[in-house]
Amino acid sequence: MPTETVYGLAADGLNPAAVADIYRVKGRPQDNPLILHIATLDMLYPLVVIDGETDALVRRLSAQFWPGPLTLVLPRSPRVPDIITAGGPTVAIRMPSHEAARRLIALSGTPIAAPSANLSGKPSPTLLRDVVDDLAGRIPVILDGGECAVGVESTVIDLTHRPFAVLRPGGVSREALEDCLGEPFSDVSSPVKGVPVRSPGMKYKHYAPSTPLTAVCAEGSVSLSYILQKPADAAVICFDEYADNFAAAGFLALPYGAEKDAAAQAKKLFSTLRKADRTGASHLYIQMSPDKSGCGAAVYNRALRACGGDIITL
Ligand code: TXA
Ligand code: MG
Instruction: Compute the average pLDDT of residues 51-68.
Output: 98
* Sign of CA pseudo-dihedral 127, 130, 135, 149: negative
Shortest-distance Cα residue to atom 33 of ligand 1: 199
pLDDT score of 196 more than 70: no
pLDDT of residue 187: 80
Distance 34 CA to ligand 1 centre (A): 5
Number of Cβ within 10 Å of residue 118's Cβ equals 25
Pairing mode, if any, of strands 70-75 and 90-94? antiparallel
45 vs 91: CA distance, rounded Å: 12
Distance 124 CA to ligand 2 centre (A): 6
Q: How confident is the model at residue 191 (pLDDT cuts 50, 70, 90)?
A: low
pLDDT of residue 208: 86
Number of Cβ within 10 Å of residue 52's Cβ equals 6
Instruction: Compute the average pLDDT of residues 219-233.
Output: 97
C-alpha angle 270/4/47, rounded to 5°?
Answer: 115
Secondary structure of residue 99 in the 3-state scheme: helix
Is 75 close to ligand 1, i.e. is its CB under 6 Å away?
A: no
Query: Is the distance from CB of 115 to CB of 200 less than 8 angstroms?
Result: no
N residues, the chain: 314
Cis preceding-peptide flag for 200 (omega within 30 of 0) = no
pLDDT digits (tens, 9 = 90+) for 248-282: 999 999 999 999 999 999 999 999 999 999 999 99
Per the model's pLDDT, the better-predicted residue between 187 and 161 turns out to be 161
pTM of the model: 0.95
159 vs 309: CA distance, rounded Å: 29
Q: Which listed ligand is nearest to 270 at the C-alpha?
A: 2
pLDDT of residue 207: 85
- The overall average pLDDT reported for the chain is 94
Distance 116 CA to ligand 2 centre (A): 4
pLDDT score of 193 more than 70: no
Query: Is the distance from CB of 147 to CB of 130 less than 8 angstroms?
Result: no
Is 272 close to ligand 1, i.e. is its CB under 6 Å away?
A: no
pLDDT digits (tens, 9 = 90+) for 122-160: 999 999 999 999 999 999 999 999 999 999 999 999 999
Distance 138 CA to ligand 2 centre (A): 17
Counting from 1 in the atom list of ligand 1, the atom nearest the Cα of 156 is 23
The one-letter amino acid code at 111 reads P
